[in-house]
Structure 1
Amino acid sequence: MNSRRVIGLAVHALACVIYIVLNGYAVPAYKQLVGGLTSRGVAIGMAMYLIFYFFVSLNLILVFIQRQAIQFGLVIFMMLTILFYLLPQYPIRGLAYCALTGGLAVGAVLLSNALNSLYTRWCRPAGGQPLTIHPRRATSRLLLITALIGVCICTGLLGLKIFGGATAEPITRHSNDSGECYLVTYAPGYHKLGLIGRVFELFAGEYFFRVYTADGALLESSEWNFRVTEIFGGPAEFNGSTVLYSGTQGYEDWWVPECA
C-alpha cells in the first residue's frame, strides 16, 4: 500500500473515531438540554448503527479514490441519502447526522490531501524537478462548496431549532382525564436572536407542544416533527389518550398510547 493510501486510511479512520466520540457526547447533552429525542417510529436504534456503518464504508471507499470531484460527489450523495432515510420521521437526527457525517468526511478528504502534498514535498529528492501544481478543477471546487453549504445549512437549522426549543415559553397546560399525562403548549424563542430568528420564525411553526407523564418525564413533542404544523387557533388538549391541536388542515390529532 503506497503512502497516499496509508495517510488517507489513517485520516479517515480518525474521522470515524471522532464520529463515535461526538455522537457519544452529543446525545446525552441534547437530552439534558431539551429532555429527550422524542422521535416517533420503530427500530431507530438499528437505523443509527446502519448510518454509522454507511459512514465507515464510504470513508473506506474515499481512501481509494484520487479525484476530489468524485470524493466530494460521494460525500454529497451520503448526506442526501441520510436526509432521505431519516426525514420527516426523525428530523433532529436527519439534520444532526447529515451535518456530522458530511463535515467529518469533507474534513478528512481535505486533510488527507494536504498531508499527502506535504509528504510528497518532504520526500522529494534534492535537486529534483519542482512539483507541478495543477489548478483545482472547477467541478471539484463546486462540489466542495456544495457539500460545505449543505453541512452549514443543516448545522444552522439544527442550532436554531435547539435554541428555539430551549428558550421556549410555556403558554397553556392541559391534563388528560386519568391524570397520567399532561401537555404544555410553548411559543419558541426565535425572536430572541433578533433579525435571524425572526426570519427563521416565518418558516417554522408558531407553537409546539410537549407531552409529559405525571412525574414530568417527556413522552412526545411536536417540536421536531416536520409533519406537525401548529397554529394557535386554540390550545392543544387531550381527548382520552389523543392530543387534539389546531393545524393547517383544521383540528388534527396525535395518539400517545402511554397516556391511555
Structure 2
Amino acid sequence: MQLVLHHQRLGLGTLVSLVVLISGCAMAPDISDAPGTGEPGTSEPGTSDSQPRPAAVIAQLPADDLFYGAALGATKAIEAYLERSDVITSEGGSDPRRMASLVTPQWYPKEEEGFARFTAAQERTLGQTTVDGLQVQLARQVPGGGLDIGVIACVDATKVLVLGLEDGDPPAEVLQWQGEWESLDGTAEEWEVIEGFWATTSARWGQRNAVVFWLVGESTDELLVDHTEQWWGISRC
C-alpha cells in the first residue's frame, strides 16, 4: 500500500531499539479531545514541513463516521500491537511469532527482524509503551471490500528501560522518578541509590516518537498493522 508518506519503514522491535535515539511526535488534535462530543477528531490530514499534501489524498477523504471508526479501530489495534511487543522485548525478543496475529503476513518479516536485534544484543525491556495523540491521515474503502487506514500517533517509550538480558531490575527509586529528576525531593540515600545505579549500568530509557501506522482490515474492528514508518514532519510530542 503506497500512500502519501515516504519514510523509513520499521518493525516495532526495530522501533523500540531506535526509540532511545530518536524523538518527535504526532499531529493535530488527538482522538480524545474533539470539542463537545469526546469523539475522535476529524480535522484535515497533517503535512510534513518538507512535503506538501497530495491532491489524491484529499480526494480520498471519507465521511466523518468512517474517520470516527478508523480512529477507534486504529487505537485498539495499535495498543494491542504495542502491548504484545512489550511482552516479547521483555523476554529478549524470543518467540516473535506472537506478533503474527496482529500484523499482515507481508509485514511480519519486519517484525521478526526487529526482535532479532534484541536477541543478538542480549537485551530486554522493562516497562510499558503507550500511544496517544492519534490522528487519522487517511481512511478509505478499497475495491472488493476492506479498508486502508493511515494514522500518525505518539509512541511513548519514556517509561521503558532497555537493559541487558541478564541484568537485574533497577531499584524502585529509578523507576519511580524517571523523567521527573528536577522535582525529585528525595533523601540523600535515595539519590545515592539512583546515582549508583546509573554509574554501573549501560541501561537506557526510551523516548517519545512520532510514528506512522498503516492498517488494513475487513472492518475497523479487524485491523492489522500493515507497516510502520518513523515520522519526520512537524510534531508536538
Question: With structure 1 as the length reference, what TM-score do the two structures score?
Answer: 0.25
The structure with the larger Rg is: 1
Question: With structure 2 as the length reference, what TM-score do the two structures score?
Answer: 0.27
Structure scoring higher RCO (CA < 8 A, sep ≥ 6) equals 2
Return the structure number with greater helix share.
1
